[in-house]
Structure 1
Amino acid sequence: MVKKSSQADFLFPSNEILMKEEVVLNTYDDCTDYVEFDDTADYNIEKYRDDIQIEIINESKDGMTLEFDLTRVEAPIANALRRILIAEVPTMALEKIYLYQNTSVIQDEVLCHRLGLLPLKVDPRQFQFPLTKTIGINEQGVDCDEEPEGDPKRNLIFKINVTCTKNRNAIPTATDPKQLFHHSSVYSRAFEWVPIGEEQANELQGENKPRMVSPDILVAKLRPGQEIEASCHAVKGIGRDHAKFSPVATASYRLLPTIRLHAEISGEAAERLKSSFSEGVIAIEKKGAKKIAVVKDARKDTCSRNVFRHEDLAKVVQLGRNKQHFIFSVESTGALRSNDLVVEACKVMQLKCRSLRKQVEELLG
């Protein structure tokens, strides 16, 4: 049963997107992107800064995944933070692969590309960016005649040397390659970090020791007689240049859903309302002898708008999204903890703002 409301059209806050059956309304802000803009009042950056709120909602034990709420800001700022997380927070990745031997079925260039995508457990803040982006190619089309020593302030070196051999002790009925051969599968654990000089060896020890994020990443499969030998040089870079430098597997946000019930919904209608949303969004509570529907947790709503399939419910249910409330989800690839990545992204944004301000001042001065 749906108890009718006396209002024909329901008012909604200006900071919310209104979701109808087939359209979305109020997707823009009046005059400016600044929340509650008043052109008669002076803009106060301190007040705006103090209004911004960040709340940690969930963080995994290993710190690799993080969910937090960013409120009282506009979409351009939230989206800038997301884009910086993906493309402009530096990490270390394998850039130059000096391949000495590769008799596997994987082509040299494909193998080198695959190695470059292996995530490294290295703090990029301890290193500097490379002085040159590329190494010049000589007349024979070779970019170097021999492997360079590497710069301890700019490089890390990982070496791998794996050869597949037959297992002489395998049982006669064995069919699994892991039982028939030694090193039939090459995993990321096969890479060994080689320090560049004593200073790097002394500084990068214990928790700071460079390594692969996971030892169980499958790199290649070998058969007896096949071999992979390579020396891999890592450099500092950003995801804007290549995806292998991106520090996040996921960096996304969504607006906080809002659900308003403008009438009392009970009985069979309450059950239909509950089934129209994701589990946990709508709850059934007792009110005297009746069971009525209440909004339990709008955060879990996926904004499917299934409720508009029911004509009676569509008249009293208002769906929206808060334009000032961003639910961020960040998943690190492993180089740094997710909360550290958010802090580093804010630092990058701060540097960009200072640079822009300096250029504007020089232009106006």
Structure 2
Amino acid sequence: MAEIQMLKKDKKTGRVSFLLKNTNAAFVNSLRRTIIDTVPTMAIEEVEFRKNSSVLYDEILAHRLGLVPMKTDLKAYTLPAKCKCEGEGCARCTLKMTLKAKGPGIVYASDIKTKDPKIKPAYPKMPIAKLLKGQEIELEATAVLGEGKDHVKFSPGLVWFNKEPKITISNKQELLEKFKEKYPAEVFDKNGKINADLIMDNNLVDACDGVCDDLVKIEYSDKNFIFFIEPWGQLTPAEMVSNAAVLFNETLEEFETKLK
């Protein structure tokens, strides 16, 4: 059975990495693809302009609004295709938003207003447009849940994985003197020795691989994988993984049913 071990968690960016043990690349990649393509998030889908005297065309402004990451509440909303309204649009699958701004000044994501306090821009200070004196924007937007496989604006983040490296270091003095210039300075400790933790912490495995196997030998596991998640603000990494697991199981159950 696969085991999970947390490695790093950056509170500022939300980025996390963890070790998946005793599994295989097929499963890990399936988890990655499920998060990117299938875990839904909220994003602006339609924009109705009332006023727009900015230098930006309506289409450009609508495109920018669609790419603004929105905090998402998956318990309160459902995909339009799975909603009881059959995609016609209701409070269960859509959310109306408004934006009113007059120049001079910068229009920020925080200027987008919604009736649901849980659904709001993940990055309030994201600039959308610059207005000069006398210019204004007034619009109504409709946000819906969507999946990354339909449009990247619905994808919850960047996800990738690497095979776990096993680093063996000899630190032989003659080899250190010969190959010192070939290795990044960040991998050497205060005593001038190559340190495995520094290689990992600075993400310099590839830079050290193959330079001199007698000094630094790097092998890769086929059963253990380092999994990275860099969220774009709509969901937390925990929400991304837990929802991906549910969706993955649903897909397997559906596949099993069709085979019977």
* TM-score under structure 1 length normalisation: 0.63
The letter of the residue matching 1:75 is: A
- Is it true that 1:326 corresponds to 2:228 in the alignment? no
Report if aligned partners of 1:63, 1:338 keep a CA contact under 8 Å in 2.
no
The letter of the residue matching 2:167 is: I
In the other structure, the counterpart of 1:345 is 244
Cα 1:111–1:284 change in 2 (3 A) is closer
- Is it true that 1:163 corresponds to 2:102 in the alignment? yes
In the other structure, the counterpart of 1:169 is none
Cα 1:213–1:78 change in 2 (3 A) is same
> Of the candidates 139, 143, 154, which is equivalent to residue 245 of structure 1?
154
* Offset, 1:158: 1.1
* Offset, 1:347: 1.3
The whole-number CA distance in structure 2 between the counterparts of 1:132 and 1:354 is 18
- Is it true that 1:221 corresponds to 2:130 in the alignment? yes
The letter of the residue matching 2:205 is: T
The letter of the residue matching 1:219 is: I
- Is it true that 1:303 corresponds to 2:206 in the alignment? yes
Report if aligned partners of 1:278, 1:302 keep a CA contact under 8 Å in 2.
no
The number of equivalent residue pairs is 253
Helix, strand or coil for the counterpart of 1:77?
A: helix
Q: Could you give the per-residue CA deviations for residues 244-272 of structure 1, whole angstroms, max 9, x where no partner exists? A: 10111x211111222335xx553242344
Cα 1:62–1:346 change in 2 (3 A) is farther
- Is it true that 1:256 corresponds to 2:159 in the alignment? no
Report if aligned partners of 2:209, 2:217 keep a CA contact under 8 Å in 1.
no
* TM-score under structure 2 length normalisation: 0.86
The whole-number CA distance in structure 2 between the counterparts of 1:221 and 1:359 is 54
* Offset, 1:284: 8.3
* Offset, 1:307: 5.2
Report if aligned partners of 1:274, 1:283 keep a CA contact under 8 Å in 2.
no
Cα 1:294–1:335 change in 2 (3 A) is closer
Helix, strand or coil for the counterpart of 1:212?
A: coil
The whole-number CA distance in structure 2 between the counterparts of 1:341 and 1:225 is 43
Q: Over alpha carbons, which structure has the higher Rg?
A: 1
* Offset, 1:87: 1.0
* Offset, 1:305: 4.8
The letter of the residue matching 1:269 is: L
- Is it true that 1:82 corresponds to 2:32 in the alignment? yes
**Which consecutive residues of structure 2, in runs of 5 or more, have no partner in the other structure?**
none
In the other structure, the counterpart of 2:140 is 231
In the other structure, the counterpart of 2:119 is 210
> Of the candidates 48, 61, 65, which is equivalent to residue 15 of structure 2?
65
The whole-number CA distance in structure 1 between the counterparts of 2:119 and 2:209 is 50
Q: Percent of counterpart pairs with the same letter?
A: 28
Helix, strand or coil for the counterpart of 2:206?
A: coil
Cα 1:350–1:189 change in 2 (3 A) is same
- Is it true that 1:189 corresponds to 2:110 in the alignment? yes
Over the residues paired in the alignment, what is the CA RMSD in angstroms? Answer: 2.7
Helix, strand or coil for the counterpart of 2:35?
A: helix
In the other structure, the counterpart of 2:235 is 336
The letter of the residue matching 1:251 is: V
